[in-house]
Amino acid sequence: MQRVGTTDLKGGNFKKVLTALQQIDDVIHLDFPILRNEKTLAHVVVGLSKQRLEAEARAAAWQQSVLNGLIIVFLSGCLYLVFRHHALRPIRALALGSQRVAGGDLATPVELYSGDELGHLSTAFNDMMQRLALTLGEKDQALHSLHDLNKSLEERVAQRTVQLERSETRMRAIFESMGEGIITLNPQGYVISMNPAAERIFAVRSRESEGIHSALLLADAHTEELSRLDSYDESKNAVFQISSSITPGEYQGRAFNGREFPMELMVTAMQLGDENLRVCILRDITRRKETEARLAAAQQQLVDAAHKSGMAEIAIGVLHNVGNILNSVMLSGEEIARVAKNSKVAGLNKANELLRSNAHDLGNFFTTNGKGKMLPQYYEKIGAALSEETKSINGEALKLNEKLAMIKDVIATQQAYARADAYTEQLDVVPVIEDALRVQEASLRKLGVTVRKDFKAIPRCAVHKSKFLQVLTNLIKNAKEATLENDKFNRIQEIVLETGRAGPGDVFIKITDNGCGIAAENLQRIFNHGFTTKENGHGFGLHTSALAMTEMGGSLSVHSAGLGYGATFTLLVPSGQAKVAVTPTADAARLSAA
């Protein structure tokens, strides 16, 4: 460093001095002005030797290079340790895992848990080992199963062989011991074999039938038709043809001893290797035909007996139904007699006699006589009374005509039913119920029986009108008679009639009374022929009614909670079927035999 004299600076020659210093090449000069209140008070000029700076810089550079080398060596060591831990260790673990796999150890996984590629590789390696272990396990299991299956198959083959042998023995035993004859035919119609039953049926010894033609097993009624053919084709003309029907046909067979007999025959196909054989199953039905003939004779005897019995029961049925109507006829006759007995005609005759006695002076009679003055008013009143009497008599006479027509209809219906089946018609049953009520109207009114109706909308029903009317009339009459003793228990006499739907295809009509009820032990017998609890009953009405409902496709049932609790009779009637023939039941057939 070069020192500058202070005289030069004081002389104000600072810039020149600084310029002179800057021209020295091996010195670096730095100027630092000293300021106070923004005025330069002095300058500090520092000079640095370039040689010294360069020497110090080289020394610092060498030291830095040594330090960097040490840092690089340290970092290299660290990187080696890290690489050894994170790279060589997983690789070594994978190598050991590969050796274990090669040695057959698939259960020990590679224990490496990291998120880098080696971690993913070890995870994949472990998955591969698990799948390989699973595959090997499945293979072992499959081999074991295959071994067991093979063993089981051998056992089953042995068992099946035994079963087939037993089955063949059993089938042979069945074939030889069964009652039906079995004949095997070849395609040309010749007998291959017969079981013992067939040999017995055709009276042939064992094996003598082999080779004979099947046409020789038939009676002349079948072979004569075959003999008239110009040419015989077994597949087209033979009686022993394969049939798809499950019903056997009936033919006349002929045994080797010449006996002809009726037989049932069914022919089926059997494939035996490349042969198309026919198996004929036949049965000698001689005994059945004889039994059928005896049964037909017995049935005819039963029909004749039922006809005679039915004639009597028809008469009872007619009398029973006519009797129901005659009760109302008698009530109408009694009403007419009562009106006639209490008629005002006698008063009219007296008034006429009074007129005749005063005929010579009627003017004075009507104006001055007290009776004459009242006579016009009396004639007016008696005219009204006689008009009411006439109206009542006419009404009862009309009812009599209606009831007599019903009697005629009952008789005609029974006669028609005895000659042929009845037919139903589609009609509204409510008017028929009203007609049945009218049959019993007079007696119901006389006995003070209240009738309550609960008629709901119902479709038209398929019934035989006259029979249905008879059933309703009989049930209403029974309900009325069941309430006769209600006065003893201070109960009103009431009958309830209801209609409604019993389902999609049926209509119900219920007839309920609050009378004496039915004992539980009688409910099961009440529709039996001849059963009755009435002193003067004959047990025919409910039985006939139940049969009539069955014939019309409906039913009649009864319910009662017991004695003193009344009863409900329910009719179920089919709806929506018109003009359907009514087929009588077994019991009803007897009723129709007139």
Per residue of the chain (594 residues), what is the pLDDT tens digit?
A: 445 444 444 445 666 766 776 677 777 777 777 777 777 777 777 777 777 777 888 888 888 888 888 888 888 777 777 666 666 666 777 677 777 777 777 667 766 656 666 666 777 777 777 787 788 778 888 888 888 888 888 888 888 888 888 877 777 777 677 778 888 888 888 888 888 888 888 988 877 888 888 888 888 766 666 666 666 666 666 777 777 777 888 888 889 888 999 998 888 888 877 888 888 888 899 998 899 889 888 877 765 654 454 455 445 556 666 776 777 777 777 777 777 777 777 777 887 887 788 778 777 777 788 777 787 777 778 778 778 878 888 887 887 787 777 777 667 655 654 444 456 788 899 998 998 887 777 678 888 999 999 999 999 998 888 788 888 988 998 999 999 989 888 899 999 999 999 888 899 999 999 999 999 999 888 888 778 877 776 677 788 888 888 888 899 999 999 999 999 999 999 986 444 444 444 343 333 332
Q: What is the DSSP letter of 489?
A: G
Tokens standing for 68?
A: 């960097």
3-class SS shares of the chain: helix, strand, coil, % to 5: 55, 20, 25
Inter-axis angle of helices 370-419 and 345-357, to 10 degrees? Answer: 140
pTM of the model as a whole: 0.37
Q: Rounded CA gap, 234 and 410, in Å?
A: 65
Q: Rounded CA gap, 249 and 285, in Å?
A: 12
For residue 14, how far is the Cα from the chain centroid?
129
pLDDT at residue 497, as a whole number: 96
Q: Which one-letter amino acid corresponds to residue 24?
A: I
Q: What is the DSSP letter of 576?
A: S
H-run or E-run covering 301: helix 286-341
Q: What is the per-residue burial (b if ≥16 Cβ within 10 Å, else e) of 237-253? A: ebbbeeeeeeebeebeb
Q: What is the DSSP letter of 339?
A: H
CB 269 within 8 A of CB 277: yes
Spatial CA neighbour of 214 closest among 228, 231, 202: 202
Q: Rounded CA gap, 294 and 300, in Å?
A: 10
Distant-in-sequence, close-in-space partners of 238: CB < 8 Å, separation ≥ 6? 189, 214, 215
Distant-in-sequence, close-in-space partners of 326: CB < 8 Å, separation ≥ 6? 403, 407
DSSP string, 2-59: ----HHHHHTT-HHHHHHHHHT-TTEEEEEEEEEETTEEEEEEEEEEEHHHHHHHHHH
pLDDT at residue 165, as a whole number: 81
* DSSP strand pairing (27-36 vs 39-49): antiparallel
Is residue 413 packed enough to be buried (19+ CB in 10 Å), middle (13-18) or exposed (0-12)? buried
Spatial CA neighbour of 125 closest among 136, 111, 104, 138: 111
Place of tokens 């199963």: 145
Spatial CA neighbour of 175 closest among 161, 194, 154: 194
Spatial CA neighbour of 541 closest among 560, 557, 521, 526: 526
